[in-house]
Amino acid sequence: MAEIVGPGCERGIPGNVEMPLAVERLPNGNTLIADAGDEAGFGSEILEVNPVGSIVWNYNEGLRFAHSGRRMKNGNTLITDTTNNRLIEVSPDKRIAMSSDEWGGGTGKLSDGSHLHYPNEAFGLGDGTFLVTDRNNDRCIQVDRNGKVIWAFEKELHHPHNANALTNGNIMIADSDGNRILEINQKKEIIWSYGDGSAETLWWPRSGIRLENGNTLITDSKRHRIIEISPEGRIVWKFHTEHVDKFYITHATKEGTFLIACTDGHHQVIEVDRTGSIIWLFRNYRRPAPIYARLTNGFFKEVGEDGIPKHWVLATRLSEGGGRLIWDVDNKPYPCPGLEYDRPGALFLQQNIFVKVGQTYRVGAEIKTIEVKGAACLHIDFYDAFGGSLYRDITEMPSGEYFTGTNDWTHDLFEINVPAKATFAQLRLAINHSGKVFVRKIMMNPI
């Protein structure tokens, strides 16, 4: 019998904001939020919220991990539907006015023969074209409504996340894996930049915007801070919260405040003023996955109707549309589950478990891998009372061995001490890049 200490809610409930990734203040005073959805890939939507927090408009038809929603001059909303590798333009009455799937005679191909690959951001420009940040193609492009590539910046970028047009005609690009913010002119020359490429200056910056005062506001995600940089490269203003918040996008309002999308940190959008005070906040989060009193079905004896081990969640949000759960049917005395994956993102099989601060737990399992090119491991993420991870980066999380290549069944055993502020642990089997990993006999007990 599974004892539940924290119930979960139904997945994909409209209005439940699990992971806000983009935000902007509309001329009517409302706020447009792009919600990427929950860990299992449900609930991605674009919401318009009024100042008192009521949802006045939303769009959630078929979106998968949508990263951005931008209101266009014509009143439509341009949506970057990331895992679906497409852009769509949606009218206020929720009709699709344009879809990049129609480009190239219905192949979704652009005029240069390429296809959007994990696009993260798109803005409508004044001339009716779009400025698109095409992350996994490592480029930033300007395309027209028919997919004709008008301009492209494809050099030097490493998984860029946000490019936006400046009033001087230049483009500001967040070169996230390059740990830099670049200002590019139309001739594709870098005319200003911040960050030396090391994680010491910027760590996975997600966006840079030019403020009216000429400074640049950078959302420095993994250093969980917002910084304002003078043209000479000095930090003149900083904002961070007390908890680990992987800020995503910052939008400057006309009033001189900043709207910040706080991802799945505390699952909220905040508006801060120059003193760093939070003056407005939107949060409407309920956690879909239950928290079990102890590890439940660690031996995978029970399988749910969906074919996934009961009480476990197949987390596909970061899988970029690939990967699946598999079974080793020859395993004795009963089949054991595994993950098969084939691209650069990651796939997880996970469960939430109640833990006590200060307690030490021993975690163990048997793991087998087949041709894993990236890494597979068992790791633990701890979450605070607001559902925010306590870690800035996956590699900081306590883990067992990192397996690569092919390994026969191996005992994996590690100990963890529950850090302050943790309310529950998320135990995960993870795989990234490509290959197969199987797991059996997972146990986790206080010692």
Partner 1 sequence: MAFDREISEKRKRQCSKLVEISKGIVRQTFSKFKPEELGITWTGGKDSTLTLWIIWQVCLEKGAPIPKTMIIGEGDEFEEIEQFVERMKREWSVPLEVCRNEDVLKTTDHQLNALVRVKDLNERNREELKRIGFEEDEFPFEAESYVGNHLMKTVVFNQFLERNGIRGIFQGLRWDEHPARFNDDYFEYKEGGYLMPEHTRIRPILHFTERDLWDTYAAFKIPYCPLYERGYRSLGAKTTSLISVEGVPAWKQDLENTEERAGRRQDKEKAMERMRKLGYM
Long-range CB pairs of 323-331 (<8 Å, 24+ gap) are 323/347, 323/431, 325/349, 326/436, 326/438, 328/368, 328/438, 331/438, 331/440
Residue from 115, 117, 188, 441 binding partner 1 (CB under 8 A):
441
Q: Distance between CA 210 and CA 172 in Å, rounded? A: 8
What is the number of other CB atoms lying within 10 angstroms of the CB of residue 46? 25
- The stretch near partner 1 (CB under 8 A) out of 54-62, 90-98, 99-107, 411-419 is 411-419
Q: Is 317 in the site for partner 1 (CB under 8 A)?
A: yes
Nearer to partner 1, 70 or 159 (CB): 159
What is the number of other CB atoms lying within 10 angstroms of the CB of residue 107? 12
Q: Is 117 in the site for partner 1 (CB under 8 A)?
A: no
Q: Is 354 in the site for partner 1 (CB under 8 A)?
A: no
Nearer to partner 1, 103 or 204 (CB): 204
Nearer to partner 1, 109 or 243 (CB): 243
- The stretch near partner 1 (CB under 8 A) out of 42-50, 87-95, 237-245, 374-382 is 374-382
Residue from 148, 155, 274, 362 binding partner 1 (CB under 8 A):
362
Q: Is 394 in the site for partner 1 (CB under 8 A)?
A: yes
Please give the single-letter amino acid code of residue 349. L
Q: Distance between CA 333 and CA 330 in Å, rounded? A: 9
Tokens for 22, please give them: 């983009």
Tokens for 270, please give them: 């905040």
Q: Is 346 in the site for partner 1 (CB under 8 A)?
A: yes
Q: Is 447 in the site for partner 1 (CB under 8 A)?
A: yes
Q: Is 268 in the site for partner 1 (CB under 8 A)?
A: no
Residues contacting 237, CB < 8 A, separation 6+: 215, 227, 228, 274
Q: How would you write 379-420 as a 3-class SS string?
A: EEEEECCCCCECCCCHHHCCECCCEEEEEEEEEEEEEEECCC
Q: Is 121 in the site for partner 1 (CB under 8 A)?
A: no
For β-strands 336-354 and 291-292, DSSP reports them as: parallel
The residues in 25-84 that bind partner 1, with binding defined as CB under 8 A, are none
How many residues of this chain bind partner 1 (CB under 8 A)? 54
Residue from 179, 221, 268, 426 binding partner 1 (CB under 8 A):
221
Site string for partner 1, 227-266 (x = CB under 8 A): -------------------x----------------xx--
Burial of 63 (0-12, 13-18, 19+ CB in 10 A): buried
Residues contacting 433, CB < 8 A, separation 6+: 341, 343, 344, 372, 373, 374, 375
Q: Distance between CA 322 and CA 388 in Å, rounded? A: 26
Q: Is 433 in the site for partner 1 (CB under 8 A)?
A: yes
Tokens for 246, please give them: 């992987």
Q: Distance between CA 249 and CA 161 in Å, rounded? A: 10
Tokens for 356, please give them: 């006590």
Nearer to partner 1, 32 or 346 (CB): 346
Site string for partner 1, 275-314 (x = CB under 8 A): -------------------xx--xx-x-------------
Q: Is 197 in the site for partner 1 (CB under 8 A)?
A: no
Contact footprint for partner 1 (CB under 8 A): 159, 161, 176-177, 204, 221, 246, 263-264, 294-295, 298-299, 301, 317-318, 333, 344-346, 358, 360, 362, 364-366, 374-375, 377, 381, 393-395, 397-398, 401-404, 407, 411, 413-417, 419, 430, 432-433, 441, 443, 445, 447
